[in-house]
Amino acid sequence: MNEKAHSARWARIVGDSRKSEMVLVADVPSVGVVGFGSCGSARAKALQQAGEVYMLYIRPEYQDHGIGRKLLYRLFDSLVVRGMSSAVVWVLSENPSRFFYETMGGRRIAERTNRKWDSVIRETAYGWDDLAHVRDRSDARKAR
Ligand SMILES: CC(C)(COP(=O)(O)OP(=O)(O)OC[C@H]1O[C@@H](n2cnc3c(N)ncnc32)[C@H](O)[C@@H]1OP(=O)(O)O)[C@@H](O)C(=O)NCCC(=O)NCCS
């Protein structure tokens, strides 16, 4: 990953209100931005999910404080408001963070192998079919 190229890309996305990609940040008072996520319509049309969470990152020192959950739910809300009631997240299969999406109620629905950054990359997709009720199901799971 290249910092200059990524900074330019994000500046373009955040600065262009016509872009369909939505970006949300987690802002802690007196600290600033500690995490961000983006979403929009699903890029892999072969899957039935309409929306996609493209990216979700929380600064390491702010992980495990419930911020990732809040941000993911807000991303889901943004998709629902734009008429997308289901979503997918593609995550590197070797990334232990993928189990976060299982905790968030995502079902493992697909795998793919891509060539990226001069390597063969394996990715796993997690899907949610009813975004409007994700919070209710998560609360019910916790209560059990
Ligand atoms: C994955 C990530 C977004 C989670 O955000 P977070 O703020 O640390 O997670 P939260 O504190 O909101 O956790 C919510 C729940 O998920 C669980 N959880 C968090 N990370 C987990 C993991 N890696 N595996 C399993 N469960 C996990 C928490 O225990 C918590 O469960 P509980 O409510 O039952 O106690 C964050 O750790 C991160 O940015 N990781 C590095 C970047 C990355 O790899 N992103 C994914 C690429 S798309």
pLDDT band with cut points at 50, 70 and 90 for residue 19: confident
**Residue 21, domain member (yes or no):** yes
What total of structural domains would you count in the chain? Answer: 1
pLDDT tens-place string over residues 20-39: 899 999 999 999 999 999 99
Residue nearest to atom 16 of ligand 1 (CA): 100
- Using the 8-state DSSP alphabet, how is residue 84 labeled? -
Residue nearest to atom 27 of ligand 1 (CA): 100
> Looking at ligand 1, which atom is closest to the CA of residue 69?
12
**Residue 88, domain member (yes or no):** yes
**Residue 141, domain member (yes or no):** no
Q: 90 has which bridge partners?
A: 125
Q: 52 has which bridge partners?
A: 40, 88
**Alpha-carbon distances of 19 from 5, 25, 108, 119, 127, rounded to whole Å:** 18, 17, 29, 30, 24
> Which CATH number is 70's domain given?
3.40.630.30
Q: What is the pLDDT of residue 1?
A: 77
**Residue 86, domain member (yes or no):** yes
**Residue 58, domain member (yes or no):** yes
- Using the 8-state DSSP alphabet, how is residue 14 labeled? H
pLDDT at 139 over 80: no
**Residue 143, domain member (yes or no):** no
> Looking at ligand 1, which atom is closest to the CA of residue 62?
7
* Domain boundaries, position 59: 3-135
> Looking at ligand 1, which atom is closest to the CA of residue 57?
39
Global pTM reads: 0.92
Higher pLDDT, 18 or 96: 96
